[in-house]
Structure 1
Amino acid sequence: MGTAFWIRRFTFVFILAFIVIVCSQLLKGRVLLYSVTESLTWAALSASIFTAARIYQSRRGKHCAICRDTPEMLNEQSGDKQ
């Protein structure tokens, strides 16, 4: 898996975490600036840990059987259909 794959993965997780965290902070009644600041911090931390863990697992040859989102799993899945 190339660098572009992991950058897209990090960006996707970062945006998703940011949206969830900012919405939860706003629902708690926090100020917008505080919500955005906290969301940026925690989204970056969460995306970094998630991506690093997935890279580590990928290098060890362990793929998520539920996700089936890595190129290796997609190739394996298409090979099963033939």
Structure 2
Amino acid sequence: MRVNCPNCGSKATITSREEQSEHVCNLYVSCTNTKECGATFVSTLAFAHYLNPPRKDTAQMAASLLKNFSREEQMELVGF
């Protein structure tokens, strides 16, 4: 993950992090442009949503849905 300084746009280095919850943390960051900027700041990193759910979750969801179909419908769906 790349972090840029919001002041000068230079590359910044994450020096530490503090977890706020399971999917949110504060990143403590220092600008590497120490001669002209040298800013230190806090950024928040958060999980938003999946683009593709994990395979395990997808398989469990499919199995759960299949249970609602009759045996004949299940066989038709899998191509038998």
TM-score range, shorter chain: under 0.3
TM-score by length of 2: 0.26
TM-score by length of 1: 0.25
Higher strand proportion: 2
Higher helix proportion: 1
Which is higher, the Rg of structure 1 or of structure 2?
2
